[in-house]
Amino acid sequence: MTSVPVHPLNDGTELPGVGLGTYPLDDEEAERAVSGALEWGYRLVDTATNYGNETGVGRGLARSGVPREEVVVTTKLPGRHQGYQETLASFEESRRRLGVEYVDLYLIHWPLPRIDRYVDSWRAMIKLREDGLVRSIGVSNFTAEHLERLRRETGVLPSVNQIELHPLLPQDELRAVHAELGVRTESWSPLGRGSEVLKDPAVDAVARAHEVTPAQVVLRWHTQLGAVPIPKSADPGRQRSNLDLFGFELSAEEMDRVADRPHERLGGDPDTHEEF
């Protein structure tokens, strides 16, 4: 089994250095992908109410036989359930679908500033943590302004901000804010959704120099930034190689080469994107 380093979070818990994404797997695919990945050594799994596969993820967890306390199970609050009471009720539904007594990491999926309920949702997340139903609370797609507002109005900063991050969008400024605040960065679409980055000649040259794949170079780049990538793969071979990142190191010049390209966002803009 591959050994993966862990990062300390600001609440005293730990986050494995790489995890498994599960969008857009259905319940059956997610069960298979999650149980296989856990057997192979993954200890961090990412889902969301809006992926519609929490039941499959929970079944995969149970089927793997890996002790529950070794696995960081992450899920996310959908926009339609933002608000204090709504968050508590939505969490209970997620917990039931996952079939777990507690969730390790619970995230607000998108800030949805237009409806302006993320602070109320955050207060409910704090309550869930106080009640022991969630180990760590965090957010996703929050900007520096959204993080600052949580701090100002509740005094509690997220442990994690899961953001779009890949060589097409290196997020230097937001990562610097995270480092200053003590918020761990998780990278969604870390492979740029398996896009052209993986076919890029510069990435390929780095991969050949280290005798690894382009995907391993890109994922290693994340880990050396201090970010936690959560690549999605339903393929056992790709799942394994996506975990095998800790036996080589990129030089500073190789790190620069990976992200040396025009930058572009593949997903929504956090200030305007609405996911209900």
**Of the listed pieces 35-43, 57-65, 118-126, 225-233, which binds ligand NAP according to CB under 6 A?**
225-233
Contact track, ligand NAP, 96-135, x by CB under 6 A: -------------x--------------------------
Q: Does 46 bind ligand NAP (CB under 6 A)?
A: yes
Q: Which of 168, 230, 250, 255 binds ligand NAP (CB under 6 A)?
A: 230
Count of residues touching ligand NAP (by CB under 6 A)? 28
- Give, as ranges, the residues between 165 and 204 that touch ligand NAP (CB under 6 A): 188-194, 198
Q: Does 235 bind ligand NAP (CB under 6 A)?
A: yes
Q: Does 215 bind ligand NAP (CB under 6 A)?
A: yes
- Among residues 42, 51, 106, 118, the one annotated as catalytic is 51
Least distance in angstroms from the C-beta of 267 to ligand NAP: 6
Q: Decide if 106 is catalytic.
A: no
**Of the listed pieces 36-44, 96-104, 234-242, 253-261, which binds ligand NAP according to CB under 6 A?**
234-242
Q: Does 140 bind ligand NAP (CB under 6 A)?
A: yes
Least distance in angstroms from the C-beta of 266 to ligand NAP: 8
| Intra-chain end-to-end CA distance of the chain, in Å | 38
- Alpha-carbon torsion angle 59, 63, 68, 70, nearest 10: -120
Contact track, ligand NAP, 62-91, x by CB under 6 A: ------------------------------
- Give, as ranges, the residues between 9 and 28 that touch ligand NAP (CB under 6 A): 21-23
DSSP readout, the chain?
A: -----EEE-TTS-EEES--EE-TT--HHHHHHHHHHHHHHT--EEE--GGGT-HHHHHHHHHHH---GGG-EEEEEE-GGG-SHHHHHHHHHHHHHHHT-S-EEEEEES---TTT--HHHHHHHHHHHHHTTSEEEEEEES--HHHHHHHHHHHS---SEEEEE-BTTB--HHHHHHHHHHTPEEEEESTTTTT-GGGG-HHHHHHHHHHTS-HHHHHHHHHHHHT-EE--B---HHHHHHHH--SS----HHHHHHHH-S-----S--TTT----
Q: Does 267 bind ligand NAP (CB under 6 A)?
A: yes
Query: Which amino acid, 90?
Result: S
Active-site residues, by number, are 51
Residues that bind ligand NAP (CB under 6 A): 21-23, 46, 109, 140-141, 162, 188-194, 198, 213, 215, 230-235, 238, 241-242, 267
